[in-house]
Amino acid sequence: MSDNAEDGAADRAEPGPEPLDEAGIERVLVVVAHPDDAEYGTSAAVASWTSRGVGVAYLLLTAGEAGMKRPPEEAGPLRAREQRRAGEAVGVERLTILDFPDGTLEYGLPLRRAIAREIRAYRPDAVVTGSGDLFVGWGLDHADHRAAGLAAVDAVRDAENRWVFPELADEEDLEPWGATWLLLTGREPTRYVPLDEDAEARAVASLEAHEAYLADLPGHPTPAEFVPWMLAGMGRAAVVPRAMGFDAHRLR
């Protein structure tokens, strides 16, 4: 290939993600379906944010009680304990675990209302959640993940509309709140958060906190192998050593 051809190919290359504009982001709410869902990349960004004084809350829609080789009544409390340790590793200040059923999470008004309630209560500047897509970077996504992502995307709008779930304001004193950013995982990233070695190490520790859960997954790579590999892969697209990428939507 000639030099001119190489130059032309470079000119046609797709632009990579841009750094996330974090000005004005003082609180972030992460909405996921299960314990451990936030530990596959998102927790690295969380570690970076909390190290700079950003408040971060996790909202888990289920306790993950159907995800282990033990009875749900044992698995749910165990996974909640592991999630608390995982959140502590990256500085999460608020953990809420709801009791929607693991494995059969359904998109609908009760789920949207529950997420909108937490958005109004915590008043985040950014909401992080899954895309709700069937096809994601690692294959076919879990049904619970899809329901959680779609409901959270809609709940972001619900939370700022006084006439949607008016009982939240009228009966619970939770006034409408509009987030500035919606940050979606599992899609081609448009923005990224650059990460240092400390954020990577804390992200590894957050996944390691799910010790009993990971022991039930034969063949799962160790967090110390998997997390740096994953963050380095996202970093290559952003041309930085390591990163967490999001499909970012500025709402205001």
Rounded to an integer, the average pLDDT of 226-230 is: 97
**pTM exceeds 0.85:** yes
CA dist., res. 223 & res. 197, Å (int): 15
AA letter at 203: A
The CA-atom distances, in angstroms, between 182 and each of 91, 110, 116 are 21, 21, 14
Measured between its terminal Cα atoms, the distance across the chain in Å is 46
**Mind listing the pLDDT tens digit for each residue in 31-60?**
999 999 999 999 999 999 999 999 999 999
Q: How much is the pLDDT for 138?
A: 76
Residue 12 reports pLDDT greater than 50: no
Contact 79, 65 (CB under 8 A): yes
Q: Which domains does the chain have, with CATH numbers?
A: 23-250 (3.40.50.10320)
Which pLDDT does position 14 carry in this prediction?
A: 67
Average pLDDT over residues 193-197: 98
Helix (H, G, I), strand (E, B) or coil at 210: coil
Which band of pLDDT confidence, cut at 50, 70 and 90, is reported for residue 140?
Answer: confident
Q: If you count them, how many residues does the chain have?
A: 252
What proportion of the chain, given as a percentage, has pLDDT over 90?
88
Which two three-digit tokens encode residue 123? 């008043």
**Given pLDDT bands bounded at 50, 70 and 90, which one contains residue 6?**
very low
- Going by C-alpha positions, the residue among 68, 60, 71 that lies closest to residue 212 is 68
Q: Flag whether pLDDT at 172 surpasses 90.
A: yes
User: What value does the mean pLDDT of the chain take?
Assistant: 94
What letter represents residue 252's amino acid? R
- Please, which pLDDT band fits residue 19 given cuts at 50, 70 and 90? very high
